[in-house]
Chains A and B, each alone.
Chain A
Amino acid sequence: MRKLIFAINITVDGFADHTSVIADDELHDFYTDLLNSFDIILFGRKTYQLFESFWPTADKDPQSTKSMLRFADKINGLHKIVFSKTLHQVAWNNTKLVKDNVLEEITRLKQQPGKNLSTGGISFSSSLMKAGLIDEFWFLVHPIVSGSGRRLFNEIDIKAKLKLLETQVFKSGVVAMHYLK
């Protein structure tokens, strides 16, 4: 059975909006490696729109580094599913829009053979956490305090105790913690 893996950047004080942290080359390399273990990425609307606005055309941006381009290449090629009731169309290649029965659809995908599934973002992943669908977590704790923004964990109710699988420290001071449910 496929596992659903959740990975997200978070500040020391628990904020996870995309504006709170900046990923450097080392982090893009990390995420590119992680993407190699997936064959589908599951998105909620917000993260999808943010990604769609940049990654398909990252190679046109003069500020894109080699690491970013490798990441772009990888994510542009992967299969993607965006779950949203309000989106009408998706422009990114290899992307499918699913409007209803989110949890059923993900449960069905998990039962199919294949590589693991990936997800990220705050609202979407919270609902998946609540439904108990996430099997592994990667929290990448950045050495910054944000003070405000969107908290990753807002009254989530998960009784499970996780098992720490590994910890990785990056040059930037980011600490990646990998947990198994």
Chain B
Amino acid sequence: MSKVFFDVGISLDGFIAGANRGPKNPIGDNGLAIHDWMFIQKSFREHLGMEGGEDNNQDNDLIEEVFNRIGANIMGSHMFEEGEVSWPEDAPFHTPVYVLTHKKREPWKRKGGTTFYFTDEHIEKVLEKAKKDAGQKDVRISGGADTIQQYLNAGLVDEFGIHIAPLFLGKGIKLFDKIDKEKFSLKVSNVIDSSLVTHLFYKVVKK
């Protein structure tokens, strides 16, 4: 059974991105530092078409596992606009990607199996389509924070992973904001620590 999940890096003070984010300043001020642990891993670099990197460690394996389970992605328009100008032609998804936006646009096919579909349908409808595309694989709510919150509050997320980087951003976009706590509770499913980051995995239990 296909699962719906999100998997994001955050700062210790809970930010998914720094202040002043936008296409010219991806992930906001100092936001890239949240993902420092990822940039040095071989599996992550491979997905962005870069050489080198470390392997043979749990951080690297984890990235690989997450990539491998994804059959379709859903993202918000801000995330897409930031990525559109910086992802390589072989965009790092290799699945259908549904972009939630009111701007009408034809599907955008990239090298390597990524196709972006632009839709203003209800989030639940979009998820149905993504699930169909994903088949046995899982659907990732890629981000940003607002899209993740919408799916969480709609009770549509089964589980999630957060990767807590050992730094503070002070300002920016909180991952967990406007959360409706009446909708669900959480159960820890796994905790993996490395010297660079703490990986926490939770199951979302509907109330």
Contacts and interface: CB of A to CB of B under 8 A. Distances in A.
Interface stretch (A65-73, A76-84, A87-95, A163-171): A163-171
B166 A155 contact: no
Given A14-B14, A156-B13, A173-B188, A163 B166 contact: yes
Given A12-B186, A155-B170, A162 B198 contact: no
A133 interface: no
Contacts of A166: 193
Interface stretch (B78-86, B111-119, B123-131, B177-185): B177-185
A160 B195 CA distance: 16
A152 B202 CA distance: 21
B168 A153 contact: yes
Interface residues of A, number: 30
Nearest to B165: A161
Interface residues of B, number: 32
Contacts of A64: none
Contacts of B200: 12, 141, 175
B171 A169 contact: no
Interface string B180-206: 110011111001011111101010000
Given A13-B14, A155-B171, A177-B164, A143 B196 contact: no
B66 interface: no
Contacts of B188: 143, 169, 173, 175
Contacts of A97: none
B179 A143 contact: no
A164 to B, nearest CB: 5
Interface in A83-138: none
Contacts, number: 86
B168 A156 contact: yes
B176 interface: yes
Nearest to B199: A167
Given A13-B176, A158-B168, A177-B198, A144 B191 contact: no
Contacts of A155: 170-171
A144 B198 contact: no
Contacts of A151: 14
A49 interface: no
Interface in B73-110: none
Contacts of B194: 164
Contacts of B193: 164, 166-167, 177
Interface of B: 12-14, 33, 162, 164, 166-168, 170-171, 174-177, 179-181, 184-188, 191, 193-198, 200, 202
Interface of A: 12-14, 139, 141, 143-147, 151-153, 155-164, 166-167, 169, 173, 175, 177, 179
12 contacts: A12-B176, A141-B200, A147-B179, A156-B168, A157-B168, A158-B170, A164-B166, A164-B196, A164-B197, A169-B191, A173-B186, A177-B193
- 8 closest A-B pairs by beta carbon, nearest first, are A13-B176, A153-B13, A167-B193, A147-B181, A173-B188, A162-B166, A14-B14, A143-B186
